[in-house]
Structure 1
Amino acid sequence: MNTATAATRVRSRVALASIAVAAIAALAACTDDTPEPSPSGSGSSSATASSAPAFVPSDQSAKVLAATLPAVQGSAKGTVGKQPATLNVAEVRATAGGTLLTFWFSGAQAAPLGDQGEKSWENQPTLVDVAGKKVYEPFTFTHSRGETYCLCTDAAYARGDAQPRTIYYPALPDTVTTVEVRQAGFDKPISVPVTR
């Protein structure tokens, strides 16, 4: 390759790059944005335009700090994480789209809930319609990494302080008024009324 030809190509590329940069700068300078209104307050307001924000924040700390646990509808003694514990069921609420169980474990000593976590959906409580002879397991979904999770809240430990949890199940028929909540490690099922 000739040195003169190589130099000509380099100059051509530099010239093209310079033209491209100049064109981008010219386009950036040519916008048809309207200028911001002056902050002097000389503008007028429209009666149809709302100046109030759509969401008005308010202090909810008193309500949150005064929150109490829901009443326990039934409980059973058993083991969780190889530690003695109590399973407390607060509510089984049925809606047209599904059923929500609210519950928590409590115990004198902290017991890990790794086997009852969100990735261990098969170890979660089941809802049993005794009259209809049907067992309801939690709804699940597959995470983008390929792991299956239950549609539920999670807790790491069962301990003295209650950590209420919720699990979402398929919808119960309208005729079901009572279900049994069953959990591995707890011999006695907990019979609770269905709230609608």
Structure 2
Amino acid sequence: MKQIDARGLACPAPVLQTKTALQGESSRSVRVVVDNAASQQNVQRFLESQGFQTTLEQAGSDYLVIGNRESLLSGRLYPETETHDNAKKIMVICASDRIGSGDDTLGKKLMANFLRTLKEMGDDLWSLVFVNNGVKLTIEDSDVLEDLTAYESAGLKILVCGTCLEHFGLLEKKRVGETTNMLDIVTAMQVADKIINM
């Protein structure tokens, strides 16, 4: 079994270390130790994308992600890049919970209206990414939580920065989207046809 100690590393380093350790290896089983929930979720999702069945154990403050796979063939591409045949892949990155500067109340109202209006893009809207203060839009009591949940239920990919959630102490309050890391975000940016920054 391949052993990887990724404790003390900030996202996306645990995923990158795991990816590097598995390159060129014929391991059918791997054990990754991390020390925070965001890294645990990211490593677990990465291993599953590579064809591993995962289990989780906790030892004190450490998380042990154990992966086993039947075949040495890799899993699907990571992250998912499927889309409708004729649709463009538009990614919207929300780095704040408001639009513009000046009046905060107005800025939050504008962001809520923007997110609610995104559905007008139809199938071209491929992914929503929340980083920095933008992660506050994905937590309980968010004014747009119902809208984001509806988008996710309809198949829209929603990525939420785990490092950002941890920084603000909001990891346990997130209610929509996948907790993710910069590797996921950068990889998704590579395949997007258009990126809109808010």
TM-score (norm 2): 0.23
Instruction: Please state which structure has a larger fraction of its residues in strand.
Output: 1
Larger Rg: 1
Instruction: Please state which structure has a larger fraction of its residues in helix.
Output: 2
